[in-house]
Every structure is written in C-alpha cells, then in structure tokens.
Amino acid sequence: MRKIAACNILAGFFLLFFIGMMGFFLRIEVVQQYLFSSQTSSSWRISLFRSAHAHGTLFALIQIVYGLSIPYSCCKKTALLLQSIGLALGAWVMGVLVFFESHSTPDLSSWSWNQLCIGGGLGAWMVAIAWHGYGIAGRIWRE
C-alpha cells in the first residue's frame, strides 16, 4: 500500500509541475491576445486554457491528498490500484485534454474523440473518489 500511496503522491506532484508550466504558456497566450488581437474569437481558447490550468491544479492536489489518505481506507490493494487509475485518468484529462480541446472550435452538432475521452476520464475520476470515500467511511464505522 505504501508504494501505491507514493506513486499517487509522485504523480500528483509531477502533474502539478506540468500544470504550473502550462500556466506560463497561459500567460503568454493572454498577453498575446491582449496586445495583438482586437477580436474576441480566441476567448473560447483562453477560457478553456484557464479551465485546464485551474482544474489540472485542483485534480493534482486531490491526487496528492488521495495518496496521503490511502492508509485510512479499508479497501483492498486491488481496489486502491483501480482508484489510483481512475484518479490519474481524471487528473490528466482535465489538465491535458481540456488544453487540447481549447485548440478546437466549439461544435454542438457532434462529439469529438477528445470530448469523449474527457467524459470517460471524469466518470472514472468520480467513481474513484466515491469509492475511496466509501473506503474511508467503512474504516471509520468499523472502529
């Protein structure tokens, strides 16, 4: 269990570093839009870019907290591994795939593979969070 916890903490810090670097590119993008673009056509891109940066940071911190809270769960090792995969998927899709989505144009008539992957990753993340909460609640009720 310690190895799973350490891997989650490491993945969270790596993602936090990656998303922090993405914040640097966000700043460049915002400055370029402000100085060189008189149109609001790139507001979609900036909004999704900011969303990817904010959600990626939040999900990375949640993955670190998950790694720290593993000892308090009554779940088996296999369940913790599946939860880790679900959390990692959600964190990476919200940090990375939403960034890639910012480079596309909004289209309500069809779904892209990127959008489907974002939905699947978020679904896996929500299941993992609920499952981990159940594991912690089970540990509390048992004692």
pTM of structure: 0.84
Asked if residue 45 lies in contact with residue 103, where contact means CB atoms within 8 angstroms, the answer is yes
Residues 6+ apart with CB under 8 A from 97: 114, 117, 118, 121
Over the stretch 6-22, which tens digit does the pLDDT of each residue have?
999 999 999 999 888 88
Place of tokens 């880790």: 84
Determine the pLDDT at residue 88.
92
Torsion of CA 68, 73, 77, 78, to 10 degrees: -110
Place of tokens 């060189």: 36
Inter-helix orientation angle 113-142/43-69, to 10°: 30
Question: What local confidence, expressed as pLDDT, does residue 104 receive?
Answer: 77
Domain holding 10, by residue range, is 2-142
Q: What percent of the chain has pLDDT over 70?
A: 94
Per-residue model confidence (pLDDT) at position 78: 94
Read off the pLDDT of each residue in 112-141 and give the average, rounded to a whole number.
Answer: 92
Confidence (pLDDT) at 132: 95
Number of domains in the chain: 1
Residue recorded with tokens 């993602």: 15
pLDDT in tens, 24-74: 887 787 777 777 766 655 677 778 888 888 998 999 999 999 999 999 999
Amino acid at 87: L
pLDDT band of residue 135 (cuts 50, 70, 90) is: very high
Q: Is the pLDDT of residue 91 over 60?
A: yes
Comparing 121 with 22, the larger pLDDT belongs to 121
User: Is the pLDDT score of 130 beyond 80?
Assistant: yes
Which residue type does 10 have?
L
